[in-house]
Amino acid sequence: MEEYGVPIPLQPSSSHLTLFSANTFTPQPVSTKHHTNNSSGLLGWNETAKAQVLDDHGVPRREILIGSEAERKPATKKREKKVRTPRYAFQTRSQVDILDDGYRWRKYGQKAVKNNKFSRSYYRCTYQGCNVKKQVQRLSKDEGIVVTTYEGMHTHLVGKSNDNFERILNQLQVYSSF
């Protein structure tokens, strides 16, 4: 049985990270069904949002989908409502499925997705005690798009030297320029 902590965003690993900075990360509700407006910038489990990633010149480069609908169970259980960590997904145009974000991941599952000819892969961070998960999925709608969803926060620093999110963003921009 999995235990989940308080909802906290994926920890930016570098001060250069632009993905979640105030200037470039502007969540807006996708579904207004359960949207609550808290100033923390965090989403509730029932919430979804879209955000844009801007480059250094303020030009939108990517659109981020945050959270997903219908993936929580109703909090009908008496006392312990299960709190899951929010998921942060970003979709991008890429030739490769596996984006090197500097962490080491162990694949623990792969599932076929309905209405999608590509399967979804499940990964867990291999650092001891760090149970951050991510899943990677390619859309059959547009084979050029890869969706990577992160769940949880790393309890450690990136293992690889000089690797951080900025590096992936740079990689992504190379691909998205096609």
48 binds DNA (CB under 7 A): no
Burial (0-12, 13-18, 19+ Cβ within 10 Å), 170: exposed
Q: Determine the distance from the C-alpha atom of residue 144 to the mean position of all C-alpha atoms in its chain, rounded to a whole number.
A: 18
Does 133 contact DNA by CB under 7 A?
A: yes
Q: Residues touching DNA: how many (CB under 7 A)?
A: 24
Q: Beta 60-66 vs 133-138: how paired, if at all?
A: unpaired
Indicate whether 156 belongs to the interface with DNA (CB under 7 A).
no
Residue 73 beta carbon to DNA: minimum distance, rounded to whole angstroms: 3
Q: Which of 34, 35, 50, 120 binds DNA (CB under 7 A)?
A: 120
CB of 163 to DNA, least distance (A): 15
Report the DSSP pairing between strands 49-54 and 133-138: unpaired
Q: Which residue has the tokens 């990136």?
A: 158
Among 23, 74, 129, 177, binds DNA (CB under 7 A): 74
Is residue 105 within 8 Å of residue 124, measured between CB atoms?
A: yes
User: Of 57, 78, 79, 106, which lies in the binding site for DNA, with binding defined by CB under 7 A?
Assistant: 106
Q: Which one of residues 21, 38, 110, 140 is an interface residue with DNA (CB under 7 A)?
A: 110
Q: Which is nearer to DNA, 7 or 173 (CB)?
A: 7
Determine which residue in the list 79, 80, 112, 177 makes contact with DNA, applying CB under 7 A: 112
Query: Is the CB of 1 or the CB of 59 nearer to DNA?
Result: 1
What does the angle CA 66 – CA 125 – CA 139 come to, to the nearest 5 degrees?
45
Beta strand extents in the chain (DSSP E only) = 28-29, 49-54, 60-66, 87-93, 105-112, 119-125, 133-138, 145-151
State the residues that interact with DNA by CB under 7 A. 1-2, 70-74, 104-114, 120, 122-123, 126, 133, 135
